[in-house]
Amino acid sequence: MLVIGSNLINYPVLSLHLGGLVSHTVEPVIDPESLAVIAYTLNAREIDEPEAGDILMIEDVREFSDDGLIINSTDNLVNREDVIKLDKIMDLGFKLIGLKVVTKDGKKLGKVIDYTLDSGSFSIFQLIVQRPFFDAIVDPELTINRSQIVEIDDDKITIKHDKQKVKLPKAGSKDFVPNYVNPFRKPNYSEEETAESSSKISE
């Protein structure tokens, strides 16, 4: 399932061990080489565990759901110095939002204002680019697939061309099915299951 990146800011983090809310996300940590979210910093003030860190690695997310990012326990929360790769990436200070986007031939397309990511891998799938003022009159936003990206540096993202446009996912579209029972989700029985259950009881 594709998710709008900004929708995962201030997103709940839930613990199976505690049976409830642990914290909320603050901002993503994006690896510019893989163009993927590898972690989220968290609101440390909400974490009621002195030993817990304030960063959630994506590899420790057990499930992404409408309720939040679900983890086993606060033991999964780390500090940046605990993970060498994370520390190095955070040292880069890479920020995707606000980067200029240009084509290989130097045409300025605008700035990144958001992105979509795959909720399974947290790889960034599309860039949502706000067009310059005069271009925005006709076409305010441009959506660029990651396959179009040629190069990323501290100042800009270079793409092949601006001809390809990809539609954003429809709001509320779901195609992700967790492989375990989510205790934070209410049961959602179909009419057929309800009818079948009733007939068994009456028997």
Residue-range domain boundaries for the chain: 2-92, 100-159
H-assigned helices in 11-162: 84-92, 133-136
For the purposes of burial, counting CB atoms within 10 Å of the CB of 122, is it exposed (0-12), middle (13-18) or buried (19 or more)?
Answer: buried
Q: What percent of the chain shows pLDDT beyond 70?
A: 75
Summarize the confidence of residues 162-167 as an average pLDDT.
Answer: 52
Task: Decide if pLDDT at 38 tops 70.
Answer: yes
Which three-class secondary structure state does DSSP give residue 77? strand
Q: Which of 15, 18, 96 is nearest to 60 (CA)?
A: 15
How many CA within 13 A on the CB side of residue 176? 17
Identify the CATH class of 2-92.
alpha beta
User: Could you read off the pLDDT of 120-161 as tens digits, one per residue?
Assistant: 999 999 999 998 755 544 555 789 999 999 999 888 999 987
User: What fold does the segment set 100-159 form as a domain?
Assistant: SH3 type barrels. (2.30.30)
pTM of the model: 0.77
Task: Decide if pLDDT at 100 tops 50.
Answer: yes
H-assigned helices in 29-97: 84-92
